[in-house]
Amino acid sequence: MTVQLEVRHLGVSFRTDDGVVPAVHDVSFEVRQGETLALVGESGSGKSVTSLAIMRLTPPPPRAAITGQVLLRGRDGAIRDLGQLPEGRMREVRGNEIGMIFQEPLTSLNPVHTIGAQIAEALAYHRSIGRRAAFVRAADLLDLVGIPEPRRRLSSYPHQLSGGMRQRVMIAIALACDPSVLIADEPTTALDVTVQAQILALLKDLQARTGMSIVFITHNLGVVAEIADRVMVMYAGRIVEQGDVVPLLTRPLMPYTMGLLRSVPRIDWSAEGRTELEMIGGRVPDPARLPAGCSFHPRCRHALAGLCETAVPELLDAGDGHLVRCRRWNDIRAGA
Amino acid sequence: MSTTLTMPPAEPDEIEMRSPSARGRAVRRFRRHRLAMFGIVTILLLVLASVAGPSLIPFDDLHIDLRGRFAPPFSGGHLLGTDPLGRDLLARLLMAGRISLAVGFVAMLLSTAIGAVVGVVAGYYGRSIGIVLMRFVDAMLCFPTVFLLLTLAAFIRPSAAMITVIIAGTSWMEIARIVAAEIRSLRERDFAVAAEMIGASDRWIMFRELIPNAIGPIVVAATLTVARAILLESYISFLGYGIQPPTPSWGNLLNNAQQYLESAPWLAIFPGLTIALAVTSFNFVGDGLRDALDARMDVS
């Protein structure tokens, strides 16, 4: 499978009153055609900043600085570094070659325009297409995302739709121009569980039909198991573990991932006699004052004095492309 | 077939309207606002009278009748009496209404356009451009408007069009400030970010996404600007720098009347009342719109 999007050594830092604060360090990954990569992490781990940096939607310099490369395979097959594109060309990429949906379907639609007008607008930015044709295509898109009576819905206003319906409309807008990559930033977080499942099924179905790549950002490991092919776990702006979904979720190597998995409540626990939910003690470190060495060591039950706080560990290959950023992964696996 | 497409159809209440439209509620609130309804009726009557009135009464506003000077109201067929040249006051008042109302409306349109553009640009580009523009607005607000108007009018040959432009040029700042404040909060909203994500240009976001959401406060400010513009036109015409006689305007009718305040008080009373009525009506409508469009009144 061809690589659709490749991120190399991406770094993002923000200039604040306290000086320059790095939010993302040296993040590299690739997404192949038709593949779903899940980006997992707590709030503040840098996953949303990573997606904004790919779209070049972080605040303009000097407030934020992006380093590294974001390589996108265009429709013509040529590979371009999005970081080098002039702003006008970047606008042609946004919504056209990379679509994006995010967390708040309730507020992401403009309250004063109809659904149809908003989808047609997305088309009009990137395609020379007549008004009538745009609305016909908008109705097709609404049908594609499973909205009943699409023609009638074109003239609805956002407040007339439920949250799930609005997220479907957002997906329709994101897909209007057949993007090759869809970035979904917590698209189901604001929805209730049944609607969440519908939206996930919809995304999988759309992916199967169009062959698009999905970068799925979430903190919900249940959702990851549902949708992802590969997973990338982020902590304090760094990738700490990366690999295929099944090995990563069943045999995690990084203590942080283990902690995350242990803190997911499971329905079969009561049968096993477990009653209390485990947590990862402490809190996410302030990006301006990261602990020395491994950022996770103050919260890690396996941390070893004299080893973990000395230097930032390398991202090591534990076999089969399973990457882990932990000095002790081998000991921990042997001990477990 | 996928699971999604075979899922049961959405519940009707899930996709149907869940609340009466915001517009419907706003209209209802406006209708309930008595003073605003009084204002809008008065404005409509004034407009109607100014447009149709002059052709319905038997006197021309410029017809001089030296034998009928200073006729008091209700004499010789002159409903509101005549002026020092024997011209019918009602005819002049109605013709003046055309000028004064037109100046008010056009000045409102112009200053709303200027204010909205300056405001949206200042609000959208919050940093350097915004700061420079808003300081310029503050500087403009520091000028005493009436003196500025008089100075400008002294240099430029006064005509209705010129007066309109000058009034618009000195009354757009308030709208600019309102729009800038509104845009600053709107541009942080998710739908503005979402528009950016689908590749919309700054201009598109400003004028297609943000301005329509700020239309409520703009309409309120525009209504109040009409009242202000009518008042300003009256000031400068009263002081003799505005609309020049024999063309009547509400302000210069008052200017004519001041020497005869004791002998022919009706010459001052009727134009004065008309100005007061028009200005208060526009202010009432503005207040009514403000209450009707205020989303905080939507407790549902």
| Cross-chain Cβ contact A102/B190 below 8 Å | yes
- Please check whether residue B203 lies inside any domain of the structure: no
What is the per-residue pLDDT across B20-29, written as a single tens digit (0 to 9) for each?
Answer: 566 777 788 8
pLDDT of residue B6: 41
- Please check whether residue B80 lies inside any domain of the structure: no
| Cross-chain Cβ contact B197/A113 below 8 Å | no
At B285, list the tokens.
Answer: 């409508």
Longest dimension (CA), chain A: 69
pLDDT of residue B4: 40
- pTM higher than 0.80: no
Q: In what order do the strands lie in the sheet with A79-81?
A: A19-32, A3-16, A64-73, A79-81
Confidence of residue A10 (pLDDT cuts 50, 70, 90): very high
Q: Please indicate whether residue B251 or residue B15 has the higher confidence score (pLDDT).
A: B251
Determine which helix (DSSP H) or strand (DSSP E) holds A66, and give its type and residue range. strand A64-73
Per DSSP, helices labelled H in chain A are 47-54, 87-93, 115-126, 131-144, 150-153, 163-175, 193-210, 221-227, 245-250, 255-262, 269-272, 329-335
- Angstrom CA distances, A128 to A16, A120, A134, A135, A285, stand at 42, 11, 9, 13, 48
Question: Which one, of A193, A135, A204, A207, lies nearest residue A164 by Cα?
Answer: A193
Collapsed DSSP state (helix, strand, coil) of residue A47? helix
pLDDT of residue B299: 45
At B257, list the tokens.
Answer: 């009347």
| Cross-chain Cβ contact B198/A160 below 8 Å | no
What is the per-residue pLDDT across B214-259, written as a single tens digit (0 to 9) for each?
Answer: 888 898 888 889 888 888 888 888 887 878 877 888 888 888 878 8
Instruction: Tell me how far apart the alpha carbons of residues A144 and A150 are, in angstroms, rounded to a whole number.
Output: 9
pLDDT of residue B10: 45
What is the per-residue pLDDT across B278-299, written as a single tens digit (0 to 9) for each?
Answer: 999 999 998 888 888 765 554 4
- Angstrom CA distances, A23 to A52, A151, A296, B2, B166, stand at 12, 44, 15, 39, 52
* Average pLDDT of the residues in A187-210: 87
Contact A24, A11 (CB under 8 A): yes
Q: Which residues of A touch B198 (CB under 8 A)?
A: 94-95, 99-100, 121-122, 125, 173-174, 176
| Cross-chain Cβ contact A146/B4 below 8 Å | yes
Query: Residue A99: which residues within 8 A CB-CB, separation 6 or more?
Result: A173, A174, A175, A176, A177, A179, A181, A182, A183, A212, B198
Q: Which residues of B touch A92 (CB under 8 A)?
A: 199
Q: Please indicate whether residue B68 or residue A177 has the higher confidence score (pLDDT).
A: A177
pLDDT of residue B8: 43
- Please check whether residue B39 lies inside any domain of the structure: yes
% of chain A exceeding 70 in pLDDT: 99
Q: What residues form DSSP beta bridges with B33? A: none
Determine contact: A172 vs chain B, CB below 8 A.
no
Question: Which one, of A52, A135, A107, lies nearest residue B209 by Cα?
Answer: A107
Q: Which residues of B touch A113 (CB under 8 A)?
A: 212
Confidence of residue A246 (pLDDT cuts 50, 70, 90): very high
Instruction: Tell me how far apart the alpha carbons of residues A11 and A28 are, in angstroms, rounded to a whole number.
Output: 9
What is the per-residue pLDDT across B118-156, written as a single tens digit (0 to 9) for each?
Answer: 999 999 987 788 889 999 998 888 888 778 777 877 787
Contact A45, A284 (CB under 8 A): yes
Determine contact: B209 vs chain A, CB below 8 A.
yes
Confidence of residue A320 (pLDDT cuts 50, 70, 90): confident
- Please check whether residue B201 lies inside any domain of the structure: no
- Angstrom CA distances, B186 to A111, B38, B205, stand at 11, 33, 11
Q: Residue B54 above 80 pLDDT?
A: no
Cβ neighbour number for residue B263 with a 10 Å cutoff = 9
Instruction: Tell me how far apart the alpha carbons of residues A202 and A175 are, in angstroms, rounded to a whole number.
Output: 12
- Please check whether residue B32 lies inside any domain of the structure: yes
At B95, list the tokens.
Answer: 């013709």
Instruction: Tell me the shortest Cα–Cα distance from B100 to chain A, in angstroms.
Output: 35
pLDDT of residue B128: 84
What's chain A's average pLDDT? 87
Using alpha carbons only, how large is chain B's radius of gyration in Å? 25
Confidence of residue A71 (pLDDT cuts 50, 70, 90): very high
- Please check whether residue B282 lies inside any domain of the structure: yes
Query: CA angle, A272 as apex, A269 and A277 as ends, to 5°?
Result: 40
| Cross-chain Cβ contact B199/A125 below 8 Å | yes
| Cross-chain Cβ contact A108/B191 below 8 Å | yes
Q: Residue B264 above 50 pLDDT?
A: yes
- Please check whether residue B113 lies inside any domain of the structure: yes
What chain A residue is nearest to B211 in terms of C-alpha separation?
A112
Q: Please indicate whether residue A179 or residue B298 has the higher confidence score (pLDDT).
A: A179
| Cross-chain Cβ contact A160/B16 below 8 Å | yes
Q: Chain A, 1-40: which have a CB under 8 Å from a chain B CB?
A: none
Residue type present at position B84: P
Q: Residue A125 above 70 pLDDT?
A: yes
Cis peptide before B246 (omega within 30 of 0): yes
What's chain B's average pLDDT? 81
| Cross-chain Cβ contact A95/B198 below 8 Å | yes
* Average pLDDT of the residues in A9-27: 89
Q: Which of A85-89, B69-73, B143-147 has the lowest mean pLDDT?
A: B69-73
Dihedral over Cα of A213, A217, A221, A226: its sign: negative
Q: Which residues of A touch B204 (CB under 8 A)?
A: 125
Give the domain CATH number at B252: 1.10.3720
Q: Domain of B120?
A: 27-52+87-184+211-295
| Cross-chain Cβ contact A205/B22 below 8 Å | no
- Of the candidates A91, A102, A109, which has its C-beta nearest B199's C-beta? A91
Confidence of residue B11 (pLDDT cuts 50, 70, 90): very low
pLDDT of residue B243: 80
- Please check whether residue B9 lies inside any domain of the structure: no
Contact A16, A62 (CB under 8 A): no
At A285, list the tokens.
Answer: 């470190």
Instruction: Tell me how far apart the alpha carbons of residues A94 and B52 are, in angstroms, rounded to a whole number.
Output: 56
Instruction: Tell me the shortest Cα–Cα distance from B256 to chain A, in angstroms.
Output: 50
What chain B residue is nearest to A55 in terms of C-alpha separation?
B197
When divided into structural domains, chain B yields a total of: 1
DSSP state string for chain B: --TTTTSPPPPHHHHS--S--HHHHHHHHHHH-HHHHHHHHHHHHHHHHHHHHHHHSSS-TT---GGGTTPPTTBTTBTT-B-TT--BHHHHHHHHHHHHHHHHHHHHHHHHHHHHHHHHHHHHSTTHHHHHHHHHHHHHHHS-HHHHHHHHHHHS---HHHHHHHHHHHHSHHHHHHHHHHHHHHTTSHHHHHHHHTT--HHHIIIIIIGGGGHHHHHHHHHHHHHHHHHHHHHHHHTTSSSPTTS--HHHHHHHHGGGTTT-THHHHHHHHHHHHHHHHHHHHHHHHHHHH-GGG---
Contact A71, A5 (CB under 8 A): yes
